[in-house]
Amino acid sequence: MTIVIAGGGLSALRSAEDLRRRGYADRIVVIGAEQEPPYNRPPLSKELLWGGATAADLAFGVSEGSDDIEWLLGRSVAAADLTARNVVLDDGEMIGFDGLVAATGVTSRRLDIPGPTRGRIGLRTLAEAESVRAALVPGARIVCLGAGFIGCEVARTARALGCEVDVVALDPVPLAIPLGPVAGAELRRRHEAAGIRFHLGRTVAETVGDECIEGVVLSDGTRLPADLLLETVGSVPNTSWLHGNGADLQNGVLTDEWLRVDGRPGIVAVGDVARFANPLFDAPALRIEHWQTAIDTAAFATATLMHDLGLSTDAPAPVSIMPWFWSDQGDLRLTSYGMLGLADETEIVEGELDGECAIAYRRDGEVVGYLLIGMKQKGARYKRQLGKERAALRAAAV
Ligand SMILES: Cc1cc2nc3c(=O)[nH]c(=O)nc-3n(C[C@H](O)[C@H](O)[C@H](O)COP(=O)(O)OP(=O)(O)OC[C@H]3O[C@@H](n4cnc5c(N)ncnc54)[C@H](O)[C@@H]3O)c2cc1C
């Protein structure tokens, strides 16, 4: 029997390890487009940039019992036939499978901006992070396009390393989409106090320079000098290899409640690429680009695979997870629990907004998440509390 895992990141690694842990002893082939064995991405916008970690520190070890997994690295899955049950690699090799895990993650979204491209970069891979790190020298002029988590993390690190930093974004405040207007405005205040300049409600219309970028022109005509244009404007799920199978690939791979793709037994999706409904939050099908979700979805999906392949008589549990996320922005630790993006109102429930605080996120009066600004030691308590609140709401709804 063969299980193919498409993708060579965290969710691929955890899927392979979980299969072994569940007693699957046959062939596992992992096909990963990057040359490197799976590595940890969060430090790419944090420790790796400020010198708290090296590339070697980022490698995940493979757990005991998983050393017989076949790794085909530096090779991509170009196509899959979910009915005939095979994948075709970029060099034409075909591999048949009994089970398939779609774990291909996302790629940085890039905008079509006229002008020179040398000096424009996204931040998703180790190679990109090393290029960004090399550019963060005192006095360098860094323009971050996009004011999401990665953009704000790099902006603060670049500032701490002595760079001049401008952040350009269409949003009204940084982190507007994931955290909303209240937390976003407070983060803007703190980042500005650290010397970061925001240009909100605008985008980069053009880059200028000879061969390399020397500056950017914003949509309102403002000109900013720039040695590096970091583009962190969201992501695009890697699903092209699944085209032609009838699966719903709009914004990721839609799964059913057991993470099956298109309801097909033995074919599952995990990690950033998977779009699934989360009943714990009564949430519609969404992708959740969190480190922990890559691990949690692998656990659910491998139980589904074991059942579908006739290797376990246990009925797999429908996916239901407590998303959580952290972000380090300068000396500031943000932690979120739940699905804040579902909320329509927020309330500070502990502490002060301009100090350390906990903010409750509610939808129709029901808590859907907490954001902690600082308060590192209280994370476990809020996570537990949210779990209890959501479980009680679900029980009441049944
Ligand atoms: C800079 C950065 C900072 C982050 N910081 C945080 C954080 O602070 N907290 C947090 O919770 N999360 C953070 N994340 C998100 C977290 O890293 C991801 O949620 C996690 O890596 C998802 O794992 P994955 O395996 O689904 O996808 P990925 O890690 O993206 O792995 C997918 C792999 O599949 C490969 N692939 C793509 N297409 C193909 C194909 N056709 N064939 C073969 N292989 C293919 C890709 O090259 C890649 O190696 C961060 C991400 C980035 C990029």
For residue 287 the two structure tokens come to 């992708």
Give, for ligand 1, the residue of 126, 238, 376 to mutate: max count of ligand atoms closer than 8 Å to Cβ.
238
321 three-class SS: coil
Can you give the pLDDT at residue 55?
A: 93
Q: Is 262 left (phi over 0), alpha (psi -120 to 50) or beta?
A: left
Q: How many helices (H) and strands (E) does the chain have?
A: 8, 26
Question: Which atom of ligand 1 is found nearest the CA of 11?
Answer: 25
- Ligand 1 centroid, distance to 206 Cα (angstroms): 29
Q: For ligand 1, atom 27, which residue shows the shortest CA distance?
A: 105
Q: What is the pLDDT of residues 92-151, one digit of tens each?
A: 999 999 999 999 999 999 999 999 999 999 999 999 999 999 999 999 999 999 999 999
Q: For ligand 1, atom 41, which residue shows the shortest CA distance?
A: 77
- Ligand 1 centroid, distance to 366 Cα (angstroms): 31
Question: Would you say 257 and 303 are in contact if contact means Cβ atoms under 8 Å apart?
Answer: no
CA–CA dist 325, 42 (Å, integer): 10
Q: For ligand 1, atom 35, which residue shows the shortest CA distance?
A: 7
Question: Would you say 133 and 163 are in contact if contact means Cβ atoms under 8 Å apart?
Answer: no
Can you give the pLDDT at residue 63?
A: 77
- Ligand 1 centroid, distance to 197 Cα (angstroms): 29
CA–CA dist 34, 178 (Å, integer): 29
Instruction: Give the domain 331-397 fold.
Output: Enolase-like; domain 1 (3.30.390)
Q: Which residues of 43-81 are buried (b: 16+ CB within 10 A; e: fewer)?
A: bbbbbbbbeeeebeebeeebeeebeebebbeebbbebbe
Nearest to 42, CA basis, from 287, 380, 289: 289
Question: Which atom of ligand 1 is found nearest the CA of 9?
Answer: 31
For residue 109 the two structure tokens come to 């979204």
Question: For the chain (length 398 residues), average pLDDT per consecutive 10?
Answer: 98 97 96 96 96 93 81 97 98 98 97 95 97 97 97 97 98 95 97 98 97 96 98 97 97 98 97 96 94 98 98 95 94 95 96 96 96 95 94 81
One fold for both 2-107+235-308 and 110-231? yes
Please state the domain extents for the chain. Answer: 2-107+235-308, 110-231, 331-397
Can you give the pLDDT at residue 341?
A: 93
Can you give the pLDDT at residue 62?
A: 75
CATH classification of 110-231, choosing from 3.90.25.10, 3.50.50.60, 1.20.120.1200, 1.10.3720.10?
A: 3.50.50.60
- Ligand 1 centroid, distance to 9 Cα (angstroms): 6
Q: Measured in Å, how far apart are the chain's first and last C-alpha atoms? A: 40
Pocket of ligand 1 (CB under 6 A): 6-12, 31-34, 41-42, 44-45, 76-77, 103-106, 123-124, 150, 238, 241, 271-272, 289-292, 294, 325-327
Can you give the pLDDT at residue 71?
A: 95
| CA torsion through residues 63, 65, 67, 72, sign | negative
Strand partners, 198: 167
Q: For ligand 1, atom 30, which residue shows the shortest CA distance?
A: 105
Q: For ligand 1, atom 50, which residue shows the shortest CA distance?
A: 42
Question: Which atom of ligand 1 is found nearest the CA of 327?
Answer: 8
Give, for ligand 1, the residue of 291, 292, 293 to mutate: max count of ligand atoms closer than 8 Å to Cβ.
291
For residue 221 the two structure tokens come to 């005509």
Q: What is the DSSP string of 91-132?
A: TS-EEE-SEEEE---EEE------S--BTEE--SSHHHHHHH
pTM of the prediction? Answer: 0.96
Strand partners, 353: none
Instruction: Give the domain 2-107+235-308 fold.
Output: FAD/NAD(P)-binding domain (3.50.50)
Q: For ligand 1, atom 53, which residue shows the shortest CA distance?
A: 124
H or E segment at 253?
Answer: strand 253-254
CA–CA dist 147, 179 (Å, integer): 12
